[in-house]
Amino acid sequence: MSIDLQTVKKIASLSRISVTDAEAEAMVPELNNILGWVEQLGEVDVSGVQPMTAVIPNHQRLRDDVVSDGNVRDKVLANAPQAEHGFFAVPKVIE
């Protein structure tokens, strides 16, 4: 299965990466090369095989339901490109 320019633009949009037409065109053969190569996995007989979920057997842990962190608002905001009044600031969103 090969992807076309329209698909590349769709993937870019899903990825939230803006691309110019020229960039998208350059990506068509690149992505097709890689996808064509990984498609060889289709030939592997995987009947009865469960997809791997953990490489090393481990169990999910529960912790006590108590506050273990918090009160670090200024630290959380310290690297924000724009923070105002103790919040992250973003451009106006109009739906």
Residue 70 binding another protein, by CB under 8 A: no
Residue 62 binding another protein, by CB under 8 A: no
Q: How far is the CB of 65 from another protein (least distance, A)?
A: 14
Encoding tokens for residue 20? 């110019």
> Diameter of the chain by CA atoms?
58
Q: Are residues 4 and 35 in contact, defined by beta-carbon separation less than 8 angstroms?
A: no
3-state secondary structure of 47: coil
Residue 60 binding another protein, by CB under 8 A: yes
Q: Residues touching another protein: how many (CB under 8 A)?
A: 52
Encoding tokens for residue 69? 């962190």
Q: How far apart are CA 86 and CA 89, in angstroms?
A: 9
Residue 17 binding another protein, by CB under 8 A: yes
Residue 81 binding another protein, by CB under 8 A: yes
Residue 67 binding another protein, by CB under 8 A: no
Q: How far is the CB of 29 from another protein (least distance, A)?
A: 11
